[in-house]
Amino acid sequence: MSGICAGRVVVVTGAGRGIGREHALEFARQGAKVVVNDLGTDLEGAGRSGGPAQAVVEEIRDLGGQAVANCDDIADWDGAARLVKTALSAFGGLDVLVNNAGFVRDRMLVSMTEQEWDDVVRVHLKGHFLPLRHAAAYWRERSKAGEPVDARVINTSSGAGLLGSVGQGNYAAAKAGIIALTHTAATELEHYGVTVNAIAPSARTRMTEEVLAGMMARPESGFDVMHPANVAPLVVWLGSGESAGVTGRVFEVEGGMISIATGWRQGPGVDKGARWEVREIGEAVGKLLADAPMADPVYGTA
């Protein structure tokens, strides 16, 4: 199959359903060879099945593309290593890593358990770091051997990571961590020929259908703004050779809208040139707040 990613080898985590499935299918339509990773768990992260990943593989093959399934746990060191090795053994290389897998365990902070915190941070944040870590080691090895590297990492954050989200403290913290990881990795890996970007998508998934049922409802006619396939074109472009030079960015995408999140940056400041007295702080902070833009509201606030 020909297309913008012809011949590129792509790993997509959490690709058995929803947004990840659409990524995998569009990469295949654009000529990529795809490793479809999915544990096949339920919405709460329980149970395992190879069915969802294999079903997407069969869809890709029906399109005339090439794909293999992988059902390793991407938040496990050895599992993430096997995921990268799957791409190398099946297709002889790796060009693009799309970190997408995740689940939610929503609860207000005063009711959240330690396990609910740990589970969500593990799958989202650690589940981004480990595949990235093993892929980066492969690309560094190639670069040091003098081989050309033109690789891409696309991470998946969220509006919750950009702004916070009521009832999703664990998820929001993990997604915010993914943004910081993206910025750091973009800088560290640039000289190896690797770009690293993130997306903050808004689309219909198993997670969002429960939390935002009204917003995610399918329209009776016209453009389906929340269809998960709307996210894939941006991700596939970011995975292509055309996106060289675009790195360390966070893109929001919803329906037909693509925007760049500008994120945290140093704002107004005041330097006394000496240690502050406590009694002076209130006036100084008041002036800083007057000069600084208001933060966007947290998701879920009135």
Residue 36: strand pairing partners: 12, 69
Sign of CA dihedral 66, 69, 75, 78: negative
Say if CB 258 and CB 197 are below 8 A apart. Answer: no
Cβ proximity of 32 and 96 under 8 Å: yes
Residues ≥6 apart with Cβ < 8 Å to 63: 1, 25, 28, 29
Just list the catalytic residues.
158, 171, 175
**Full strand arrangement of the beta sheet holding 257-260:** 66-70, 33-37, 9-12, 96-98, 151-156, 194-202, 250-254, 257-260
For residue 135, the SS3 value is helix
